């Protein structure tokens, strides 16, 4: 943002210089006096009598001409006829075109000098700006607002920390990786909701590795003049290369790397900046010790060009914190605050479902402000709950929290259905994680179920996968009743439909061994698909009903803990099915 304001200043200065220039030029013309007007008929008459010496043609409403005898200059209507010039020439008149008449050379000269001067000034200021911006606010070490930080400043986000661990090792010692011929990703894309700590993570990567941190935001580039953004990108990389190592952080990369799409709203500047970025990344020699970290909360809108190998080829989701992580984030940010005896952080963690790390930090900060206003030395429960309700009201209406509780329950049962069906249908299915915390993709929650890795799947395994897809909706139906099922299953239904269709046609698992899609009319295929889906849905319902106790425990545990790992799921299912 800062940079844009600077550019506004330059623009302002330029506008003033231009205005002054125009006033000067206009004054120059005015001082020379405006020639008298003679009507066109009189002009033609003079022309016919050979009394016109010269005519100065132009685009204006009038043309200037001079008389042979007196040499005086007059104007008349500009006929704007294509053959006007020829007529004049044939009549032996000297014809000049606008701006080249001897008397206007001085005016022209002044204008040229002024315009050139203005352009020169703009370019110099831009150049200075470019270099300054690329070098100045971006290096964290020279920015007093940002002390270097490390992993200890990030609570939770364990998976993310884990998935950038190797990059940090690499940044510390690129030569070691080079010696073994290992190639590291040049770009990492962190995606997730705002305030989940993506910037913090990038900063911490640099901090952990002890390398410089350079940050820019994609949105800074959008309003720049063509060429300036690209120059800034090159400057930034040049700086990083000089230092040999570093983390280059590009926030809001979606502002730069939006899908190019239909050609509407093509933004040259964005395109050029993006190309410069890709070129620079491509230009890294292997193992330069520089890693580009980009962040976005709209990964779905990114240009594919950004995601190709050698670019941002590692993608890491930074999720909203679950109850455990929220407790840790709250504890971390409460460290420097004088909490009163008995403030219940567990309760606050429980009550802050869907809060991002930034919102939690903000909540505690508001509470601290409340406490300092009271001035009694500590931060108490009342300070926190006032801040909590302010935060809720900011996020959405308070009275929605009851609705939210119900939605959480629906999500918990839905995801428990998936997890239970995955565990029970095939012992080789591995449930890695099930959660009711929404992911960036917009789902209410999700269940990561990894089917056994195979070259081929059997007919039975395909049926099991379809059942797992159905199980979310099925659990909702069992617990909340057939008329209370929700739209939350749309993605599952899409997947199940695809799988059932493939089952009947492409794989020949149905009544025909042939690919029926190529042979038959659609209605017969649809009929068989429907019958298969009905059978598998009924099987899923029977399975979940038989293991209702396990389903219920899973849902209850999810409501309490929000996230369960594979082991938790396994234990719950085993305990509930044994008894």
Binding site for ligand ADP (CB under 6 A): 154-157, 194-200, 295, 329, 332, 357-358, 361
Q: Is 235 in the site for Zn ion (CB under 5 A)?
A: no
Partner touching 358 among ligand ADP, Zn ion, none, CB below 5 to 8 Å by kind = ligand ADP
Q: Is 476 in the site for Zn ion (CB under 5 A)?
A: no
- Positions marked catalytic: 415
Partner touching 154 among ligand ADP, Zn ion, none, CB below 5 to 8 Å by kind = ligand ADP
Q: How far is the CB of 142 from ligand ADP (least distance, A)?
A: 19
Is residue 191 within 8 Å of residue 315, measured between CB atoms? yes
Residue number of the CB atom closest to Zn ion:
472
Q: How far apart are CA 353 and CA 192, in angstroms?
A: 16
Q: How far is the CB of 565 from ligand ADP (least distance, A)?
A: 19
Between the two ends of the chain, the Cα-to-Cα distance in Å is 62
Partner touching 157 among ligand ADP, Zn ion, none, CB below 5 to 8 Å by kind = ligand ADP
Partner touching 352 among Zn ion, ligand ADP, none, CB below 5 to 8 Å by kind = none
Comparing CB distances to ligand ADP, the nearer of 313 and 317 is 317
CA distances from 331 to 323, 324, 345, 382 (A): 12, 11, 8, 18
Partner touching 329 among Zn ion, ligand ADP, none, CB below 5 to 8 Å by kind = ligand ADP
Sign, Cα dihedral of 351, 356, 357, 361: negative
Q: Over 410-474, what HEC string results?
A: HHHHHHHHHHHHHHHHCCCCEEEEEECCCCCCCCCCEEEEECCCCCCCCHHHHHHHHHHHHHHHH
Partner touching 295 among Zn ion, ligand ADP, none, CB below 5 to 8 Å by kind = ligand ADP
Q: How far apart are CA 344 and CA 327, in angstroms?
A: 10
Comparing CB distances to Zn ion, the nearer of 252 and 492 is 492
Q: How far is the CB of 445 from Zn ion (least distance, A)?
A: 8
Binding flags for Zn ion, 477-516, as an x/- string (CB under 5 A): ---------------x------------------------
Q: β-pairing, 73-77 with 36-37?
A: parallel
What DSSP line would sit under 36-65, residue for residue? EE--HHHHHHHHHTT-EEEEEE-SSSEEEE
Comparing CB distances to Zn ion, the nearer of 272 and 539 is 539
Comparing CB distances to ligand ADP, the nearer of 199 and 505 is 199
Piece of 146-154, 172-180, 294-302, 472-480 that binds Zn ion (CB under 5 A): 472-480
Comparing CB distances to Zn ion, the nearer of 220 and 476 is 476
Q: How far apart are CA 341 and CA 110, in angstroms?
A: 78
Q: How far is the CB of 111 from ligand ADP (least distance, A)?
A: 50
Q: How far apart are CA 288 and CA 388, in angstroms?
A: 46
Comparing CB distances to Zn ion, the nearer of 284 and 470 is 470
Is residue 559 within 8 Å of residue 353, measured between CB atoms? no
Structure tokens belonging to residue 317: 């989701």
Structure tokens belonging to residue 41: 């008929």
- The single residue among 197, 212, 289, 472 that binds Zn ion, judged by CB under 5 A, is 472
Q: How far is the CB of 380 from ligand ADP (least distance, A)?
A: 22
Comparing CB distances to ligand ADP, the nearer of 156 and 289 is 156
Residue number of the CB atom closest to ligand ADP:
357
Contacting residues for 297 by C-beta, under 8 A, at least 6 apart: 191, 192, 193, 194, 254, 440
Residues in the chain: 579
Q: How far is the CB of 168 from ligand ADP (least distance, A)?
A: 17
Comparing CB distances to ligand ADP, the nearer of 326 and 516 is 326
Partner touching 332 among Zn ion, ligand ADP, none, CB below 5 to 8 Å by kind = ligand ADP
Comparing CB distances to ligand ADP, the nearer of 174 and 357 is 357
Q: β-pairing, 73-77 with 213-217?
A: unpaired
Q: How far is the CB of 332 from ligand ADP (least distance, A)?
A: 5
Partner touching 215 among ligand ADP, Zn ion, none, CB below 5 to 8 Å by kind = none
Give the residue from 429, 427, 406, 431 showing the smallest Cα distance to 416. 431
Q: How far is the CB of 464 from ligand ADP (least distance, A)?
A: 37
Is residue 411 within 8 Å of residue 544, measured between CB atoms? no
Provide the CB-side half-sphere exposure for 72 (13 A, CA): 9
Partner touching 445 among Zn ion, ligand ADP, none, CB below 5 to 8 Å by kind = none
Neighbours of 397 (CB within 10 A): 9
CA distances from 6 to 11, 250, 388 (A): 9, 20, 37
> How many residues interact with Zn ion (rule CB under 5 A)?
2
Q: How far apart are CA 122 and CA 315, in angstroms?
A: 40
Q: How far is the CB of 271 from ligand ADP (least distance, A)?
A: 25
Contact positions toward Zn ion, by CB under 5 A? 472, 492
């Amino acid at each position: 943002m800062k940079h844009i304001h600077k550019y506004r200043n330059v623009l302002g200065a330029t506008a003033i210089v231009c205005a002054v220039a125009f006033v000067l030029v206009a004054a120059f013309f005015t001082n020379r006096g405006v020639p008298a007007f003679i009507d066109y008929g009189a002009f033609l008459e003079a022309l016919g009598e050979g009394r016109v010496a010269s005519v100065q043609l132009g685009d204006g409403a009038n043309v200037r001409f001079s008389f042979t005898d007196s040499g005086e200059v007059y104007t008349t209507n500009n006929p704007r006829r294509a053959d006007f010039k020829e007529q004049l020439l044939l009549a032996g008149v000297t014809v000049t075109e606008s701006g080249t008449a001897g008397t206007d050379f001085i005016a022209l000269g002044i204008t040229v000098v002024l315009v050139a001067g203005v352009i020169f000034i703009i370019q110099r200021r831009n150049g200075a700006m470019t270099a300054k911006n690329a070098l100045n606010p971006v290096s964290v070490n020279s920015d007093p607002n940002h002390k270097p930080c490390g992993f200890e400043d990030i609570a939770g986000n364990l998976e993310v920390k884990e998935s950038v661990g190797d990059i940090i090792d690499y940044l510390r010692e690129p030569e070691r990786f080079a010696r073994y011929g290992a190639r590291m990703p040049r770009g990492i894309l962190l995606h997730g909701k705002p305030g989940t700590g993506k910037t913090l993570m990038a900063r911490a990567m640099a901090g952990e590795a002890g390398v410089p941190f350079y940050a820019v935001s994609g949105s800074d580039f959008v309003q720049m003049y063509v060429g300036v953004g690209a120059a800034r990108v090159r400057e930034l990389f040049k700086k990083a290369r000089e230092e040999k190592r570093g983390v280059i952080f590009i926030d809001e990369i979606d502002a730069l790397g939006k899908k190019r799409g239909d050609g509407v709203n093509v933004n040259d500047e964005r395109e050029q900046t993006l190309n410069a970025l890709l070129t620079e990344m491509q230009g890294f020699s292997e193992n330069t010790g520089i890693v580009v970290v980009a962040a976005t909360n709209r990964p779905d809108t990114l240009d594919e060009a950004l995601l190709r190998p050698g670019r941002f080829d590692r993608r890491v989701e930074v999720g909203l914190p679950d109850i455990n992580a929220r407790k840790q984030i709250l504890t971390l940010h409460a460290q420097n605050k004088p909490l009163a005896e008995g403030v219940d952080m567990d309760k606050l963690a429980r009550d802050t479902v869907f809060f991002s790390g930034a919102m939690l930090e903000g909540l505690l900060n508001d509470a601290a402000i409340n406490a300092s206003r009271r001035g009694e030395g500590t931060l108490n429960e009342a300070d926190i709950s006032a801040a909590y309700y302010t935060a809720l009201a900011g996020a959405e209406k308070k009275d929605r929290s009851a609705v939210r509780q119900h939605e959480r329950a629906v999500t918990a049962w839905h995801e428990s259905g998936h997890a239970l069906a995955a565990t029970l249908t095939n012992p080789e299915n591995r449930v890695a994680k099930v959660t009711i915390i929404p992911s960036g993709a917009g789902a209410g929650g999700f269940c990561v179920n990894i089917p056994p890795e195979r070259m081929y799947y059997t007919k039975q395994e395909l049926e099991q996968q379809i059942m797992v897809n159905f199980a979310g909706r099925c659990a909702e139906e069992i617990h909340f009743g057939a008329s209370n099922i929700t739209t939350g299953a749309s993605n599952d239904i899409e997947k199940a439909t695809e799988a059932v269709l493939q089952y009947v046609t492409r794989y020949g698992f149905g009544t025909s061994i042939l690919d029926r899609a190529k042979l038959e009319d659609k209605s017969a295929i649809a009929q068989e698909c429907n019958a298969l889906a009905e059978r598998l849905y009924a099987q899923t319902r029977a399975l979940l009903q038989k293991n209702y106790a396990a389903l219920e425990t899973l849902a209850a545990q999810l409501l309490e803990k929000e996230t369960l790992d594979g082991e938790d799921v396994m234990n719950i299912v085993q305990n509930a099915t044994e008894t």
